[in-house]
Amino acid sequence: MQEIIDIPTTSHNGLYDITAQVKEVLKKNPVKSGIATVYVQGATAGIMIQENWDESVQTDVINLLNKLIPHGVWEHDAQDGNGDSHLKAGIVGPSESIPIINGKLGLSTWQNIFLCEFDGPRSSRKIAVTIIKDHP
């Protein structure tokens, strides 16, 4: 079972909570036990599990990546000015796998799923959500 969700982004670098959309895919394709994989299509974005309670954590993630990987100093910048976006996406990675436990995403109280935008804003980021059912 697979569905593509489409998320617009509004900033050059930012984390966007997509947990509700992933839960909706699971609701449409109920599975008691299995795995949900969340994969962003694109070389300048990532997927991350992160704290959902305090937005300062999400801001800290972006600030850390901006300090570690500054804009405008990479060879690829000569092509299209987004060398840092590719490097950030490579470090974060394009996907996460979340266990499905008793029909629900196995996230803790403080965890949500975030699309990490590193080259926005974008009118569309396509994210493949794949639900895989355990077979006894």
Beta-carbon contacts of 66 under 8 Å, excluding residues fewer than 6 positions away, are 13, 84
pLDDT computed for residue 77 by the predictor: 86
Mean pLDDT for the chain overall: 96
12-133 has CATH 1.20.950.20 classification: no
Q: What is the value of pTM for the model shown?
A: 0.95
3-state DSSP assignment of residue 76: coil
Residue 3, pLDDT > 80, answer yes
pLDDT in tens, 10-50: 999 999 999 999 999 999 999 999 999 999 999 999 999 99
What's residue 135's pLDDT? 82
Tell me the domain boundaries of the chain. 12-133
Q: In the prediction, which pLDDT does 82 show? A: 95
